[in-house]
Chain A
Amino acid sequence: MKVALSADKASEGRKQVIIDHVKGLGHEIVDYSGDDIVAAIVRVTNAVRDEEVARGILLDSFGSLSYMVAAKQSGIVCAQVSDEHSAKMTRDHNNSTIIAMGTEVIGDTLAREIVSAFLGAEYSGGRHQIRVDMLNKLA
């Protein structure tokens, strides 16, 4: 699948780790990073909404800024995660298409495992869809 990425300046090193890992998993990755972090995050969410890419990964120091900005975009469900289980469950239950991770609170190995869990999990739908419909109604 095609994956979009944005990273702030403090996450340059981590960005390379993620790019290499996503490619290693057999996926294509597109880097939308730029000087304006908020604009870069919005480019990723737009690419996901327009189905130019299937998933997005957002990196900044603590992940909170990326998460807030992405979550506020209409039609986007993003998850701020720092563990593998959340990365898997948020695909399964929330149909999240984007994750935000904090570079300063997650190591390289954990970051790779989170990405693997996120890209490898699928959405269950069913009863969970009412909540996703409600999210989309909010914004």
Chain B
Amino acid sequence: MKIAIGCDHIVTDIKDEMVRYLEAQGHEVIDCGTYDLERTHYPIYGRRVAEQVVTNEAERGVVICGTGVGITTSANKVQGVRAPLVRDVTTARMAREQLDANVIGIGGRITGLGLMQEIVDVFLNTPFVETDESKQLIASVDALASTSRGLDGDEIFDEFLEKWETGCYVD
């Protein structure tokens, strides 16, 4: 399967480990970054993974940040993405069966590597179970985020990166 993966600088090592794990299983992985430990911003990578999935470049996406909230929420803000943020295998399986989830979010500082691998295995291998109810739910989810700028490229964030460079976002 072709899988897009993304992370922020907090969990780059964990993402790299997951890339190796997926490739060892025979999957083709599109690594959307980040690629090092330099401080960066999770929406950049959540958006890239989402774009790969909704344009069918990748069949599924995996996103990881500290708690998983930031990067998974970024992905969900792109229309057509259905991304649960999970800490257990059952939630991942049910999101595939009931909601045809196409991206999975995990907290790299919340969930250990063993459980993370199991979650991703189940996410990739569980088929969607189509029912009238699930079809209807998915249609209502997909109708949301219709004003999303998720396919407009990395440039949509430039205005904020410029402000960042000039020191507008200090602690």
B is bound to A? yes
Contact of B99 among A65, A126, A138, A139 (CB under 8 A): A65
A interface footprint on B127-160 (CB within 8 Å = 1, 0 otherwise): 0000000000100110011011110000011001
Contact of B43 among A67, A71, A134 (CB under 8 A): A134
Q: Name the residue on B nearest A80 (C-beta).
A: B85
Distance from A31 Cβ to chain B, minimum over Cβ atoms (Å): 21
Question: Are A138 and B95 within 8 A (Cβ)?
Answer: no
Give the contact stretch, choosing among A11-19, A22-30, A85-93.
A85-93
Known A134-B160, A138-B47, A139-B148: A64·B84 in contact at CB below 8 Å:
yes
Q: Name the residue on A nearest B140 (C-beta).
A: A38
A interface footprint on B66-108 (CB within 8 Å = 1, 0 otherwise): 1111101110111100111111101100110011010001010
Chain B residues positioned under 8 Å from A62 (CB to CB):
84, 90-91, 94-95, 98
Give the contact stretch, choosing among B19-27, B52-60, B162-170.
B162-170
Complex CA distance for A78 and B155, rounded to whole angstroms: 24
* A residues contacting the other copy or chain, number (CB 8 A): 43
Question: Are A127 and B171 within 8 A (Cβ)?
Answer: yes
Question: Are B144 and A126 within 8 A (Cβ)?
Answer: no
Complex CA distance for A80 and B137, rounded to whole angstroms: 18
Chain B residues positioned under 8 Å from A104 (CB to CB):
90
